[in-house]
Structure 1
Amino acid sequence: MKSIFSCFYEERNDSELKRIWTDEKTLFVFDTNVLLGLYSFQPENRSDFFKALELLNGRAWIPYHVGLEYQRNRLQIIKNRRKFFTEMKKRADELSHTISFDQKLFTTFQNEFSLIKNFPTVNSKIQDIQQNIKDKIDTLNVELRKSITELKVEITSQDKDGIFLNSEDIVRNQIDDFFTNEKVGKNIFDTQDKLNNLFQEGEDRYKKGIPPGFEDAKQKGEDVFYFSDLEYKSKFGDLIIFKQIVDYAKEKTLKNVIFISEDTKSDWRINEEFEGKKILGARVELKNEIYDEAGVEHFSILKIDEFLTKSKIYLNVNIEDSSIQDIKDSLKFKDKKFIIKFDLTKEHDNNESIKIGEADKFIEFLKYKKFKDDFVKSGNIYYDDLVEKKKAFENKYGEFNEKKFIENMYFLNENLSEEDKQKLRDKILRNILSNKRYINKNLKNDDALEPNENDIDEE
């Protein structure tokens, strides 16, 4: 039965995997996100990666469309990384001002009880306390500034490549040196008619949920770009890449194809929920298609760290486990900045986790603001409830700058138009609020807070 339904099987036998890994008829294909991911590697880790590629003995290859996507997205990755380090240094500077001494409470205490006039010795003791605290804080601030300077040096050390938009791109130089022309596939969709026929096939595939790429259809919509007088629909990028892999495997009569990609969406990989999300092998439909169309016997998808770990075992690549872990950690760098604990529902019911760190604090802040507005409108002259509410929020969450929170939603989305930013802001706020509803005696249980332009605090 295995030979009939081979697409349902995932090879796990070490001896068989070693045979596949060393077989001359095995091709290692690298996705766009792998090439772009190299920008997050430290130079020594990137050298280890290319060391593994060299041992593949000419069996490493990229489809034409991977090369095109890499060239088109390279500058945005560099810009995002520059923005990341600039912001991190800026935030490090802000840490220098985290220790301060507010004398207002002492001054209020002195004035309320007329200590200067009525109890000079008590007043003198308070002044001694203040001076003692101030001296200690001054000492702490000196130490803090020294530590922050060391922190900034460490941050700078993590940006060893120092690639800027207008500087030499040493990462691309390494990619060019390795992926010479013979290691880049030809464009089998070199006319608009060929592309349009593929797009028509893609529309039908996506309606039926046939991989790869239907997840991109939800995210990229009808976005198009142009290259060499050809119009490309972005949502079909993964499908183009897969078709080019199948065509090349058929042309070269390959037996095994190993696709290295950081893409773990359900239009490439099997995703199952069981005590957390489990990312399994390649989709059955993908394996079945490449087996039928190209006569391939084994197709698998691996993340970069998995590829390096197996290369170390089966090809005797000299890579330290710590280097592989560093690479795995570096790939956690994303274009999105924040961490939220709920799904942002996008169009077509696609749930994508977006990371927004202070979302819970933001929700609680809006609850407090709503309580305050209702309280003021009620005309209640007893402010104990309001004071307690504010105190409870500040004790738990500290200060919260709503305006900065909103602005930070666009930290790595500076390529968006102002109109698109506003739409994104409204959409995120609606979804944040729809997951945590404000409920009190004046609101029905299904009433959610609505964001209001006037609600944004100015500081």
Structure 2
Amino acid sequence: MKTLFGHLLPLAEDEIEAIWKEATLTVDANVLLDLYRYHPETRGALIQALRGFEGRLWLSHQAALEFVRNRARAAAAVAKELAEAVGDVNTLESALKKATDDLRGRRPLPREVGQKLKADVDAAIRSARASIEELRTRDANGASTDAVLDDVLALFDGCVGGPPAGDELADLHKDAERRIKEKVPPGYEDAKKDGGNVHGDYLVWHQVLQQAKSSAKPVILVTSERKEDWWERAQGKAVGPRLELLEEAHRVAGQRVLIYQTASFIERAVGPLHGWMAALVLDDIRPEDLEDVTAAAQIELDEIMNDSVGRLGDELIASDASLRRLVAETKVSGWRVHDVEVPSIERVDNAFAQLKFTAVAHYTSGPVEDPRVGPEIRVQLRGTIAFKNGAWAITEHEVENAEIVRTP
């Protein structure tokens, strides 16, 4: 049975690993255009994953053509979204100002409640504005050089497929129309697509199969497509490529074609760093079919950060005289770590990563569920945590503020 239908059955892990070591890697145009849309850290993770296939990268002529035609529009859309983000923050600020002003006017509440909330909200808004402005400045400064274009040109220099001949292209368009009418994947979902690229998905797929056939090597195709003419679905989630695609690859090319959505490709490509990378980038890419994986990775990252910051707290008590004085004054007994954030990745590859973090740690005698019972020490930290040689460690840190907070 496996002899007849093996190309339609799931691969064992060792079979997948063997294909990853041998296969040609290619992407569709939207994967490259998304580089403009992603946060810089997500963009860096994807570029790094693609570079891991240096010498085995190949780009179909159709995907390259679509990228060249649409890249300026994608870049302009980023600037528009960042400008709109400023408006979003202004709208939020107006709504929150009214709410915090109203709260401060509630006479049964201690005035400090409203004052603290307003101070926290103002600080969050300032931070959001600064982040947006940093991205707008980076985007404006990069507009003349187009770093995304430079990366794409460097990745696929000398490895773009040739265009189909005139007669061949006309025949391919006719075949694409037939497939649309017969609902043969991929591409029939684009039948009502605006513009002249109705047949783009099929042209990419055809060229990928021809590359697999001529090279006599398997292919890994990374796509941002999520439509039903690419993916089998069960209970609303993608469970794998359409079987018709696997059958056609076997029949036409005699080779395996592994198809990944962008997020699942990145997740596997950075596998030696375990699940934390998914938690940092999948939220940007937002694959619905990987929600469970994203949640598990986020839990893993939270545990790593909370454990690391908690251990750092113990070291701070031992080494910082001012904190020891606060402990003696409050007679509190243990760390409860909250609000750990990882806003940026400085560098990532398959063996090493550095992440910036900020954290709020409470030294308190209250329970985990309600740490703010009685007096506590509230410490604001920022620093860097590094993954190296299979372990995590905080490599640098700074105490921004430490204070006693007294609650009823």
TM-score, structure 2 as length reference: 0.61
Change in Cα spacing, 1:235 to 1:129, as seen in structure 2 (3 Å) is closer
Q: Which of 176, 191, 215 is the equivalent residue of 1:217?
A: 191
Q: Residue type of the partner of 1:304?
A: T
Q: CA deviation at 1:81?
A: 1.6
Give distance in 1, aligned partners of 2:243 and 2:117. 61
What is aligned with 1:383? none
Post-superposition CA distance 1:404-444 (Å, at most 9, x none): xxxxxxxxxxxxxxxxxxxxxxxxxxxxxxxxxxxxxxxxx
1:317-356 equivalent positions in 2, closer than 5 A: 319=273, 321-332=275-286
- Asked if the contact 2:270/2:277 (under 8 Å) is kept, the reply is no
Deviations 1:366-395 (CA, angstroms, capped at 9, x unpaired): xxxxxxxxxxxxxxxxxxxxxxxxxxxxxx
**Counterpart residue number, 1:27:** 24
Is 1:203 aligned with 2:177? yes
The residue number in structure 2 matching 1:278 is: 237
Q: How big is the shift at 1:175?
A: 1.1
CA deviation profile, 1:355-374 (whole Å, cap 9, x unmatched): xxxxxxxxxxxxxxxxxxxx
Residue type of the alignment partner of 1:248: Q
Equivalent residue for 1:61?
58
User: Structure 1 residues 89 and 243 mapped into 2: Cα distance closer, same or farther (>3 Å)?
Assistant: same
In 1, are the aligned partners of 2:213 and 2:253 still within 8 Å (CA)?
Answer: yes
In 2, Cα distance between equivalents of 1:42 and 1:320:
21
CA distance in 2, matches of 1:302, 1:327: 16
Structure 1 residue aligned with 2:86: 89
Superposition deviation, residue 161 in structure 1: 4.0
Q: Indicate conservation of the 8 Å contact 2:221/2:258, yes or no.
A: yes
Alignment counterpart, residue 267 of structure 1, candidates 229, 250, 254: 229
Q: Closer, same or farther in 2 for the Cα pair 1:139/1:267, shift >3 Å?
A: closer
CA deviations on 1:87-135 (whole Å, 9 max, x unpaired) are 111121233322349xxxxxxxxxxxxxxxxxxxxxxxxxx999x999x
Question: Matched residues in 1 for 2:116 and 2:53: separation?
Answer: 58
CA contact (8 A) 2:37 2:74 kept: no
Which residue of structure 2 lines up, in the alignment, with residue 49 of structure 1?
46
* Structure 1 residues 147-162: aligned runs within 5 Å: 147-157=124-134, 161-162=138-139
Q: What per-residue deviation string (whole Å, max 9, x for no partner) do you get for residues 59-112 of structure 1? A: 1211011111111121222222212111111121233322349xxxxxxxxxxx
Q: Is the 8 A contact 2:57 2:155 kept in 1?
A: no
TM-score under structure 1 length normalisation:
0.55
Residue 159 of structure 1 deviates from its aligned partner by: 5.3
Task: Return the match for 2:257 from 269, 283, 299.
Answer: 299
Kindly indicate whether the alpha-carbon contact (under 8 Å) linking 1:212 and 1:238 is maintained by their aligned counterparts in 2. yes
Query: 1:244 maps to what in 2?
Result: 207
Contact 1:38 1:171 in 2 (8 A): yes
Change (3 A) 1:143 1:235: same
Distance in 2, Cα, partners of 1:139 & 1:295:
66
Q: CA deviation at 1:307?
A: 1.6
- Return the alpha-carbon distance in structure 2 between the equivalents of residues 62 and 175 of structure 1: 10
Q: Alpha carbons of 1:29 and 1:143: their partners in 2 closer, same or farther (altered >3 Å)?
A: closer
* Per-residue Cα deviation, 1:304-336 (whole angstroms, up to 9, x for no partner): 2222232234xxxx6564333322221249xxx
Separation (CA, whole Å) in 2 of partners of 1:240 and 1:196: 11
Match of 1:175 among 131, 152, 172: 152
**Structure 1 unmatched ranges of 5 or more:** 102-127, 225-233, 334-459
Aligned to 2:13: 14
Q: Indicate yes or no: 2:246 matched with 1:287.
A: yes
Task: Provide the rounded CA distance (Å) in 1 between the counterparts of 2:284 and 2:15.
Answer: 31
Q: Any conservation in 1 of the 2:79–2:136 contact (CA below 8 Å)? A: no
Contact 1:40 1:330 in 2 (8 A): no
| Residues 41 and 327 in structure 1, CA contact (< 8 A), matched pair in contact too | no
Q: CA deviation at 1:27?
A: 1.4
Quote the offset at 1:142 in angstroms.
7.4
Matches of 2:262 and 2:281, distance apart in 1? 8
Displacement after TM superposition at 1:48 (Å): 3.2
1:37, 1:301 → 2: CA distance? 17
Distance verdict in 2 for CA 1:96–1:289, change over 3 Å:
closer
CA shift for structure 1 position 278: 2.2
Q: 1:301 to 1:93 in 2, by over 3 A?
A: same
Using a 3 Å threshold, how does the CA distance of structure 1 residues 142 and 178 change in structure 2: closer, same or farther?
Answer: same
Q: Partners in 2 of 1:83 and 1:167 — Cα distance?
A: 17
Q: Indicate whether 1:184 and 2:160 are aligned.
A: yes
Correspondence for 2:2: 2
CA drift of 1:237 comes to: 0.2
2:24 aligns to what SS in structure 1?
Answer: strand
- Flag the structure with more relative contact order, 1 or 2, with Cα contacts below 8 A and sequence separation at least 6: 1
What is the root-mean-square deviation of aligned Cα atoms in Å?
Answer: 3.3
Task: Specify which of 24, 32, 36 is matched with residue 33 of structure 2.
Answer: 36
CA contact (8 A) 1:269 1:282 kept: yes
Quote the Cα distance in structure 1 between the aligned partners of 2:20 and 2:116: 60
Q: Report percent identity of matched pairs.
A: 26
Report deviation, 1:46.
Answer: 3.0
**SS at the partner of 1:61?**
coil
